[in-house]
Amino acid sequence: MRFTTQVKSISYLKANAADMLDKLAEQREPVLITQNGEARAVLQDVASYEEMQETLALLKLLALGQQDIDAGRHEPVDVAFDRVLASKRRAGQDLEAAEAASARPAPLRAARSTKPRAKPAV
């Protein structure tokens, strides 16, 4: 990405803000905003910004993964899969036990008294 084609002064931005926003949405290229001849900000459309944030998040995950590898916090893939499958089997057994427990008949309750209740005083 080259900023040389999309450089505008802050004065231009102030005078043509609506047009610049339309062009940003159409072209999806950031615009470098200058003030007194120096780069001061970058103006970017929302869709491009969101895509960039998602890309940065993925790159951060990759970097964190590389740090784990470098620090020795990893295991062979077959060991990891065996651990995950064992966990799923335990969860399945726990689910089966819970379903079996809920299928048991409820314990019998004591029979209700046949005495009539006292009427509340008015």
Residue 103 CA to residue 15 CA, distance in Å, equals 73
Q: What is the pLDDT of residues 11-59, one digit of tens each?
A: 999 999 999 999 999 999 999 999 999 999 999 999 999 999 999 999 9
Residue 109 confidence (pLDDT) above 60: no
The alpha-helical segments, DSSP class H, found in 1-122 are: 10-15, 17-27, 46-70, 77-103
pLDDT on residue 88: 87
Whose tokens are 């993925």? That residue is 58
Residue 25 CA to residue 61 CA, distance in Å, equals 29
Mean pLDDT of 65-84: 92
Are 45 and 25 a contacting pair, CB within 8 Å? Answer: yes
Residue 7 CA to residue 4 CA, distance in Å, equals 6
3-state secondary structure of 7: strand
For residue 21, give the amino acid letter: L
Q: Across all residues in the chain, what is the average pLDDT?
A: 85
